[in-house]
Amino acid sequence: MKPAKILVGFICLSFVIASNARWQGINFANLLASSINNYAESVKIRDATPDSDRLHDRISDTTVDLLHTNFLRITKKKLRRFKKKPVILIFDETHEPFYGKTWDKWIREYKPKKGCTGSFEFIGAQIIQGRKKLFFDAIPVGKFTNKVKFIKETIETLWKEGIEIEVVLVDRGFTKNSKILDLFNKIGVRYLGLALKWDNVKQILLNCGKELVMPFEVRGVETTLIVNKTREIDWTFLTNIELNKVEKYIRLYKKRWNIETGFRVQDEARILTKSVLIQTRYFYFLAAMVLYNEWKETPENHREPFRRTLFRMKIFLEKVTAKTENIFGIIRDHIP
């Protein structure tokens, strides 16, 4: 089963497992599959699977940089499907709620759910081409994370792999950063993103008609402000591209919602944990992303709901590890 195979592969890339070790990648994969939408610490499978403490010990021996590098090793192999036509590149942020009292550089003040004390933040990069989608990259965001560097390196990596980028789509959390807009201009990337309704933008909205295209600056960085007033919303965009109709900016921007939908679906594979170690949080986040990517690669006419795929993977891993445990049991019984 491909999802199980790719999950085992990700585990074996993430930390070293000796060939004669009691617990192999498939045993750790069984723990992960059984922990989906559960706290890993509460999952206990007798004999066939290690507990979360053993897994977390292994994860603690790795680093964020190594996890990132190994995730890219997997996603780069999937880029061959996207080389025929330009792709749309989307950046977005997502948060996982944190309910503890410990505080460090990786825990953000934003509270995505009632009752949580903060959150772990991740920035993801997704490419889309027609109906094909791939979460290509993702990193955790801490107090000192350089988002501009991540965006630049992601774009350059895609170019190096032979991927042509049609446009980059971002939300207002990115367009408010003049350094990001300056980067897009300097490296020659077309971008479109929502504009914050700063006081000067609000004044423009009060005085303009239904549509407006005008030069604009964000802390000295030149861009173009697009305004389109509809019944539902007053759209305001920042961009460096020219389209012949203002409505086309809205249609193009709505493709950015693909990444938000992707994050929501990916959450169906989320593994909960009480750990505050960023390596552990990042490992679980990437494991869910690996499974989502594998599911999206399945042709639509053969693709079942994501939850169903995850359930079948869990059953498959349980059966395989049970057989493995029987073999180990026979060996133990015959040891003098």
Q: What is the pLDDT of residue 39?
A: 94
CA–chain centroid gap for 323, Å, is 34
Stated pTM of the model: 0.93
Question: Rounded to a whole number, what is the distance in angstroms from the first to the last CA of the chain?
Answer: 37
Domains of the chain are 2-65+273-333 (no CATH), 66-263 (3.90.350.10)
**Residue 83 backbone dihedrals phi, psi, to 5 degrees:** -90, -10
- Range with lowest mean pLDDT among 43-47, 151-155, 214-218: 43-47
Q: Are strands 132-141 and 191-194 parallel, antiparallel or unpaired?
A: unpaired
Is the dihedral angle over the CA atoms 156, 157, 162, 168 positive or is it negative? negative
Write down the residue that tokens 């059984």 correspond to.
34
Q: Are 224 and 284 in contact (CB under 8 A)?
A: no
Q: What is the pLDDT of residue 329?
A: 42
61-110 pLDDT tens trace: 999 999 999 999 999 999 999 998 999 999 999 999 999 887 889 999 99
